[in-house]
Amino acid sequence: MRLEDFDIKRGKAVLIGAVFLIWGVIILSFISNGYIKTWKLWHIPAMSPPFIDFRLIPGASETFRSGVDPAVSNPNDPLVRLFNYPKIWYGLFSLKISQDDTVWICIVLLVLFFLVLFAFPERIRVRDSLLLLFFIFSPACMLLYERGNVDLIFFILSGLIILTVNRWPIAAAVILLMAAFFKLFPFFGIIVFFSENKKNFYALFGTVAAIFLFYVLLNIQSVKASWLLTQRGTKVSYGVYVIFEVLGKYFRYYMLKIVPEDQIQNIMMFIPHSLALFLLVCIFFVAIRQKTVFPDNSERNLVAFRLGAAIYVGTFLLGNNWDYRMSFLLFVIPQLSQWLFASYGMYRWIYLGMFVVMLASFWDTVIFDYGILGFGVKYKLNLLVFDEIMNWSMF
């Protein structure tokens, strides 16, 4: 066996073994140090009871069965949050899940999440696995696990899309539509059909886009309501609006010098997307002039890269997202790692810079808390701005 083949075969074994080892240490810490204290090692805002985000669903199910619309009033949720998902979720309430089902469902989802992580990378070396581990156990991803957020479900479905798109593209299209009906943002994964020939691409892309558009128009009121009810933040968040909200009073102060006050709100809604779309257009024209052929020894890794990148860019444009949604960028790492180690000169520095930016974004809660500890509270705004510069660079 060649050394290269041996390294590739060991890569996935190292990933699986390391994940089991690290989770073993975490579980031991739960036993010895306690649940909340263990999660706070990653400087994330841990909450009790466990899997608090997922509890919105069984809480809404209990409320619905009592004859009350959980989008109007949801007293069975531990935090009394209104149900902020599209109406299609109501069909799942017939399963009669309750708060008592939360823990076992979330454990099953976590197991499936990691099975997808083990399955989707193709031809990964030990170095690729080690890089991936830095992100799998970053604060951004640990927040996803701690909250049991439903993005676990859509990560699993995205993994199935990656695994099926080259062999059974129609099955991948069905899975993508199913995911998009329930949470909308997985629709950005439609970019995976770029791996098809032109004829199949146009057929699949056009069909999926048309069905999704029809679904949105048919359920426009439900989609609007779920959008308005979604909670959004600035800290532990990314998105096109975040930095403008962090620096809102400064933007407002200078804009008052040139525009009437009653126009500021509209302008503040317009500027972020205009800037983001301008950046995308610039990058697009740079990209189409690019003649360098980038190495690719795995079509599946390239498909995963496209899906993960598209979901990050798409959700960034949608607005404020909690950092746990950056977990979809785990899909880009095997291909990005290959480009990093196979490239030379300027390109290697670009890929290395990309990893540095991603690590800064994924570990922002640790950087923020230690930054406050080292420099003082007066640098809080600077640290928030630093995080958003990293998020925009990643975008």
The length of the chain in residues reads: 395
Q: Does the pLDDT value for residue 220 go beyond 80?
A: yes
Model confidence pTM above 0.85: yes
Lowest mean pLDDT among 131-135, 173-177, 212-216, 319-323: 319-323
Q: What is the pLDDT of residue 257?
A: 75
Compute the mean pLDDT over every residue in the chain, rounded to the nearest whole number: 89
CA distances from 63 to 68, 98, 227, 319, 366 (A): 6, 10, 21, 29, 37
More confident residue, 48 or 251: 48
* Long-range Cβ pairs for the range 33-40 (8 Å, 24+): 39/142, 39/146
Q: What is the pLDDT of residue 365?
A: 92
- Triad 108, 148, 226: Cα angle to 5°: 120
Q: Report the number of distinct structural domains present in the chain.
A: 1
Lowest mean pLDDT among 168-177, 224-233, 309-318: 224-233
**Domain of 304, in residue numbers:** 3-394
Q: Could you tell me the two tokens for 308?
A: 């993960």
pLDDT band at 5 (very low <50, low <70, confident <90, very high): low
3-state SS class at 11: helix
Beta bridge partners of 352: none
CA distance 313 to 321: 11
Q: What is the pLDDT of residue 45?
A: 87
3-state SS class at 238: strand
Mean pLDDT to the nearest integer, 335-354:
87
pLDDT in tens, 87-121: 899 998 989 899 999 999 999 999 999 999 999 99
- For residue 389, give the amino acid letter: I
Q: What is the pLDDT of residue 376?
A: 86
Identify the H or E element spanning 321.
strand 321-322
pLDDT in tens, 248-295: 777 777 777 777 777 777 777 888 889 999 999 999 898 888 777 776
pLDDT band at 231 (very low <50, low <70, confident <90, very high): low
For residues 296 and 302, is the Cβ–Cβ distance under 8 A?
yes
Q: What is the pLDDT of residue 249?
A: 78
Q: What percent of the chain clears pLDDT 90, i.e. is strictly above it?
A: 62
pLDDT in tens, 138-162: 999 999 999 999 999 999 999 999 9
